[in-house]
Amino acid sequence: MRTLILFALMALAFPATADDLADAEAKLYEYFEVFNAKDKERVANEIYSTPVHIGGGASHRVLADPAAAIENLTGLYEQIEAQGWKASVIENLRTCILSDTLALVDTRYSRVTADGDPIPPAIRTTLYVLQKMDDTWKIVAFYGHDSGVRPSCGPGQLH
């Protein structure tokens, strides 16, 4: 709760821009493209900013460096490919620009098989925290959550 209050206060202090919104969302589409190509090196070195925090449910972990991110991705690919995964497809994004260097991008997506059938659950939702570094948005954290509950932007934020 304290974190949400901090985000809300930051949002009031920094006006959002349409360019920041478009760029943050473009980073998520790039991430999914690179993830689907299974380019672990690029995800670990260009998309993520390590350390990256991953959470969801009662578990969380921190990937301290690109090597840890590559190891994590290797295990994830093994797990989802065993379920028939071929690609992850974005359904929609909900984006909140919290400051000129911090954004939240809530992503609804599906993991699909080669036939295009969704792998249960059909809809997945992950909240990505992006930080702008040297004019480039990078993922610093992401959290899986219940698809029925999505964050909303506060006053002055674009979405």
pLDDT in tens, the chain (159 residues): 344 444 444 444 444 467 999 999 999 999 999 999 999 999 999 999 999 999 987 889 999 999 999 999 999 999 999 999 999 999 999 999 999 999 999 999 999 999 999 999 999 999 999 999 999 999 999 999 988 888 777 665 555
Return the bridge partners of 92, or none. Answer: 108
Query: Structurally, how many domains does the chain consist of?
Result: 1
7 occurs within a structural domain = no
Expressed as residue numbers, the domain containing 115 is 16-145
- The CATH number linked to 94 is 3.10.450.50
27 occurs within a structural domain = yes
8 occurs within a structural domain = no
1 occurs within a structural domain = no
- Exposed, middle or buried, 114 (CB in 10 Å: 0-12/13-18/19+)? exposed
pTM over cut 0.75: yes
b/e string for 62-74 if b means 16 or more Cβ within 10 A? ebeebebbbebbe
159 occurs within a structural domain = no
